[in-house]
């Protein structure tokens, strides 16, 4: 049974938490104590029904403000698939939280209030989806019950969003009219919208094909640990442990060690106590090579027929996540998989107004700013461009003075 990782995004009051609560409630994915807490809660909807948003709301103080400010992860499954949901905050100052929640997702649900249509925050969230190269998008036009399930209004919103999708080059976009509050078209198809001939949201999530997104010819594993027991029993043992970021490795595959450029073949693959003939993305394994190779933490094993890009001068999109602004005079640390290196931001090419999508020149980055920069690293990095391989095309920036993560990077080009 495969796993679908998706996230929800929308304006503050578009109903994200209610939608996730509805999915959990109507698929019987709520624990007994949670159900009892729901039934005894004082929070009710105007019609007296249970407020399902309670299931994903954060701390009491956050609920009292009426907004959810962290990323709430929820898990459920049906007979067809397992799901991991990230409920990301809609407010503009929490862009970094949305980037975090969306970074590992392979599907995005963008909520649009049927009363308001496409608004600035819809544009902002859609831009972030395009930036992160998320391949499947579901536009849920919510609160259809509040416009009397009007088909014409739904069609108007769809046409407006299609123009935005074309501008952002979004593909595989599905449009579903829903009412998270009433349950229309969330788990079951709605009797109130007989004009809608498509699938319910859950049915679409169960059936959408994401297998092609998990398969990649770009086999990559960043070495986390070199295992040399050097005991009498295992005096010749030399294994390279790590998590496969993408692709598939097989015994006898020709590989290259980067950045050294040494070529050899895979001798065996260990997975716990078993030996595998092949290992896939997401598995943590120990790879043995047919030749003794000088390798250490941060080096990468890649398939020799599809090599990485190796560079010290990189053009990248940057999302700034720290309250302190970017300081181009400071040396930061870049963490790319298990590789850590010193780096500096050489140049800020532009920033993006993510409400209008306009690009403009700037000399600094503040919290939640997004734009494009050129960075120079002290060591050679072996990576893929983000649009070729998300798993090996991103990194984080760390402030070495505080050890805080201050930025997320998506590699777009090499300049040397």
Q: Please give the pLDDT value at position 302.
A: 96
Q: Is 366 a residue whose pLDDT tops 50? A: yes
Is residue 177 within 8 Å of residue 193, measured between CB atoms?
A: yes
Domain spans, the chain? 3-214, 220-303, 309-414
Which fold, 220-303?
Elongation Factor Tu (Ef-tu); domain 3 (2.40.30)
Q: Please give the pLDDT value at position 62.
A: 43
What is the spatial distance between Cα 223 and Cα 172, in angstroms, rounded to a whole number? 35
* Closest to 137 (Cα-Cα) out of 181, 177, 103, 172: 172
Q: Which CATH architecture has domain 309-414?
A: Beta Barrel (2.40)
Q: How confident is the model at residue 416 (pLDDT cuts 50, 70, 90)?
A: confident
From the DSSP assignment, how many helices (H) and strands (E) are in the chain?
Answer: 8, 22
Pick the CATH number of 3-214 from 4.10.93.10, 1.10.3720.10, 3.40.50.300, 1.20.59.10: 3.40.50.300
* Closest to 108 (Cα-Cα) out of 174, 196, 15, 163: 174
Q: Which of 87-96, 102-111, 188-197 has the lowest mean pLDDT?
A: 87-96
Q: Would you say the CATH fold of 309-414 matches that of 3-214?
A: no
Mean pLDDT of 331-338: 96
* Closest to 149 (Cα-Cα) out of 116, 119, 115, 118: 115
What is the spatial distance between Cα 170 and Cα 162, in angstroms, rounded to a whole number? 9
């Amino acid at each position: 049974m495969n796993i679908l990782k998706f996230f929800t995004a929308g304006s503050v009051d578009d109903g994200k938490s209610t939608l996730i609560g509805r999915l959990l409630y109507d698929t019987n994915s709520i624990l007994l104590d949670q159900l009892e807490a729901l039934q005894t809660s004082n929070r009710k909807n105007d019609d007296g029904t249970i407020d399902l948003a309670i299931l994903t709301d954060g701390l009491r103080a956050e609920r009292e403000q009426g907004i959810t400010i962290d990323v709430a992860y929820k898990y459920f499954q049906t007979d067809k698939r397992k799901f991991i949901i990230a409920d990301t905050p809609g407010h503009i100052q929490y862009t970094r939280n949305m980037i975090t929640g969306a970074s590992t997702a392979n599907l995005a649900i963008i909520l649009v209030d049927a009363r308001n249509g496409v608004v600035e925050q819809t544009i902002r969230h859609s831009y972030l989806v395009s930036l992160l190269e998320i391949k499947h998008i579901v536009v849920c036009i919510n609160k259809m019950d509040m416009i009397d399930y009007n088909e014409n209004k739904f069609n108007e919103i769809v046409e407006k969003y299609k123009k935005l999708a074309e501008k952002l080059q979004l593909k595989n976009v599905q449009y579903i009219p829903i009412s998270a509050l009433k349950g229309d078209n969330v788990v079951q198809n709605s009797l109130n919208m007989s004009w809608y001939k498509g699938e319910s949201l859950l049915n679409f999530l169960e059936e959408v094909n994401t297998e092609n997104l998990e398969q990649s010819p770009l086999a990559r594993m960043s070495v986390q640990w070199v295992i040399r027991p050097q005991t009498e029993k295992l005096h010749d043992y030399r294994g390279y442990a790590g998590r496969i970021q993408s692709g598939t490795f097989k015994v006898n595959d020709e590989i290259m060690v980067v950045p050294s450029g040494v070529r050899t073949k895979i001798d065996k693959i260990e997975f716990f106590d078993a030996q595998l003939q092949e290992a896939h993305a997401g598995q943590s394994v120990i790879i043995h090579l047919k030749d003794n190779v000088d390798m250490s933490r941060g080096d990468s094993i890649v398939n020799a027929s599809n090599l990485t890009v190796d560079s010290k001068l990189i053009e990248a999109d940057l999302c700034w996540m720290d309250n302190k602004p970017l300081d181009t005079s400071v040396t930061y640390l870049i963490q790319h998989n298990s590789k850590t290196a010193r780096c500096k931001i050489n140049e800020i090419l532009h920033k993006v107004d993510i409400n209008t999508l306009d690009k403009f020149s700037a000399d600094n980055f503040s919290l939640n700013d997004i734009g494009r920069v050129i960075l120079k690293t002290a060591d050679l990095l072996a990576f893929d461009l983000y649009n070729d391989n998300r798993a090996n095309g991103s990194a984080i920036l760390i402030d070495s003075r505080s050890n805080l993560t201050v930025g997320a990077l998506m590699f777009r080009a090499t300049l040397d």
